[in-house]
Amino acid sequence: MTDRSEADYLRSYDIKRYDTPLASVDNVIFAIRESWLSVLLVKRADFPYKGHWSIPGGFIDLKGDASLEDCALRTLRAKTGIDSPYLEQWGTVGNATRDPRGWSMTCVYFALIPWVEPIQPKAGSEQVAWVPVDSLPEGMAFDHADLIQLALTRLRAKATYSILPVHLLHNPFTLTEFQRANEIVLGRPLEKKSFRRRLLAADVLNEVGERREGMGRPAALYQIKAGCEGFMFGG
């Protein structure tokens, strides 16, 4: 009698042998609207939490999603029509109380996009709106208000040592616009000279050879150099 092989074991294994939780991916999508850091919310069209605001997300499609990031991108497009230029996995949350349907876990991503006009409702949502992060509606679905705050904390922390807020800007941009984006994310002013000195010393920008007219001297326009999108400053 031959020993049982790994392949034999896998062929006979019952994936439903153990209880499995509800598994989803949720997206916290940030943009700057005027002078406010805002998050994209959708109003749920179905139970549970019908009529409550939530962040866009959905269950993992075991046949169609090759990875968690695939699920994040698919649900982001389906619910909002957005293709995000920056998407980062923040972490995973799971417990027996966050979803009234049962034990649930979700992988949370945060996305950064330049602000666009309000998006037409997509599948599973009645309404889509940008809402300032400090004015979230009460009674949000599930634990989504907490997920937004956790993603915001991560974003603000990374903004102190990286150029992450650049993904909130339309290209090309001025140095003043880039500084203002950082200030909006961090929630505090930055000293102009030190900000520009640190940024220009990093050599991550290309001047595009254009100028933007304003009240004062025309401002130079920049974009991030290819390959520098995730640049982090040294200590």
Q: Where are the domains of the chain?
A: 22-158, 162-224
- Cα separation, 185 vs 62, in Å, equals 36
User: What percentage of the chain carries pLDDT values higher than 90?
Assistant: 69
Encoding tokens for residue 87?
């998407």
- Please, which pLDDT band fits residue 123 given cuts at 50, 70 and 90? low
* CA distance between the termini of the chain: 63
Strand partners, 32: 37
Strands 125-132 and 86-95: unpaired
Mean of the per-residue pLDDT values of the chain: 90
Per-residue pLDDT for 41 more than 90? Answer: yes
Average pLDDT over residues 200-210: 89
Q: State both tokens at 88.
A: 């980062």
Q: What is the pLDDT of residues 160-180, one digit of tens each?
A: 999 999 999 999 999 999 999
CA 79 to chain centre: 14
Question: What pLDDT score does 118 carry?
Answer: 62
Give 219's Cβ-side CA count (13 Å radius): 13
> Yes or no: is domain 22-158 CATH 1.20.900.10?
no
**Class for domain 162-224, per CATH?**
mainly alpha
